Structure 1
Amino acid sequence: MRHNKKFNHLGRTAPHRNAMLANMAISLIMHKRITTTLAKAKALKKYVEPLITRSKDDTTNSRRVVFRYLQNKYAITELFKEVAAKVGDRPGGYTRIIKLGVRKGDAAEIAFIELVDFDENMAKTPKAEAKKTRRSRKAAPKAEAPVTEATPVEEAPKAETAEEAKAE
């Protein structure tokens, strides 16, 4: 019986799955966004979020615990310095999964997973305008500015040949 065994095995053995998730987590930390299948993105989210939570507390023990999972000192440095500084006040939900559609070859659902605080496009969105309460209300016609005619500017006569232009 497989009671209480809910996580996705992703069609891999346990060591292969752990190595793949560690490599994907390193890529996510270094590049802040990666494109993968939806199933792998969901598995990666469960794998990497506890590591990001652990990185908020920059102690030797926390670094050793995270290093047990990632085995990449450059990713650990990036995680504890840059990522932890940005997510320090966030209580969770450090990653976002956005579906992109299906892959043409095998119709696998493709998504990208990104670190939430590092997406410049989402951070710069302007606030939405206030909604109108009534749909039937027509917008009042805007008063048009009076049209004024511009006075023509007199132009100097153009030189006919290049020699006349040099003489001026």
Structure 2
Amino acid sequence: MPKPTKGPRLGGGPAHERLLLANLAAALFRHGSIKTTETKAKRLRPYAERLVTFAKRGDLHARRRVLSVIGDKEVVHILFAEIAPQVAEREGGYTRITKVGNRKGDNAPMAVIELVLEPVSPKPKSAKKAAAAAAPAEAPVEEPAAEETEAEVVETEAPAEDAAAEAPAEDAAAEAAADEAPVEEKAE
């Protein structure tokens, strides 16, 4: 998983930090939200989101990688079976950090980190994109004339032998219909 940061660690060495983050992640997945210090919440966020991304993949290798980090089979099962399907459409941002004030004893800044399990709502398109997408859809479509004469219907139903003989008649009927269409529009 992510390698330990340089500089001060969360109350100990790199091994302690790794265990601390794994336990915080397990608690987050088990309960859905936890209250901790802001620093721990900020360090937990990328760690937990990476584990959720593995869970979204859902294959055996991803399950074993998460299990090597967390170590609790129940939590891994919750992550893969319950949490991953709920965030399947989401492309990141699986956690939310909310600051809640300072702790009473040592005045440490506290925060609540929680999983974001609400369904994703599609973003509204901007005006330019909506206009560009609507323009091709609104292109005029040539529709057949609503009033078909009975002769045209009979001609389309005639066998192929008769179609060759009636080809000149069809051309004449089509020209007559074309001549009548503009006249009807002018009358309206």
Shorter chain as normaliser: what TM range?
0.5 to 0.7
Contact 1:8 1:43 in 2 (8 A): no
> Following the alignment from structure 1 to structure 2, what is the Cα–Cα distance between the partners of residues 8 and 92?
28
Instruction: Work out whether 1:38 is the aligned partner of 2:38.
Output: yes
The structure in which a higher percent of residues are helix is 2
SS at structure 1 position matched to 2:101 = strand
The verdict on how the C-alpha distance between 1:8 and 1:84 changes in structure 2, with shifts beyond 3 A counting, is farther
Instruction: Work out whether 1:48 is the aligned partner of 2:40.
Output: no
Aligned to 1:69: 69
Contact 1:49 1:94 in 2 (8 A): yes
Percent pairwise identity: 43
The CA deviation at 1:11 is 3.0
> Following the alignment from structure 2 to structure 1, what is the Cα–Cα distance between the partners of residues 8 and 53?
22
Instruction: Work out whether 1:114 is the aligned partner of 2:114.
Output: yes
What TM-score comes out, normalization by structure 2 length? 0.58
Q: Deviations over 1:61-120 (max 9, x none)?
A: 0101111110010011000010001000100000000000001211100011000116xx
Aligned to 1:98: 98
Q: Which has the higher contact order (CA 8 A, sep 6+)?
A: 1
Instruction: Work out whether 1:79 is the aligned partner of 2:73.
Output: no
The CA deviation at 1:15 is 1.0
Contact 1:32 1:115 in 2 (8 A): yes
The verdict on how the C-alpha distance between 1:46 and 1:8 changes in structure 2, with shifts beyond 3 A counting, is farther
In structure 2, stretches of 5+ residues that fail to align are 121-188
RMSD after superposition: 1.9
In structure 1, stretches of 5+ residues that fail to align are 124-168
SS at structure 2 position matched to 1:117 = coil
Aligned to 2:14: 14
> Following the alignment from structure 1 to structure 2, what is the Cα–Cα distance between the partners of residues 7 and 73?
32
What TM-score comes out, normalization by structure 1 length? 0.65
For 2:66, give the aligned amino acid. Answer: V
4+ runs deviating over 4 angstroms: 5-8
SS at structure 2 position matched to 1:111 = strand
The verdict on how the C-alpha distance between 1:44 and 1:7 changes in structure 2, with shifts beyond 3 A counting, is farther
For 1:30, give the aligned amino acid. Answer: R
- State how many pairs are aligned: 116
Larger Rg: 2
Aligned to 1:145: none
For 2:55, give the aligned amino acid. Answer: S
For 2:14, give the aligned amino acid. Answer: A
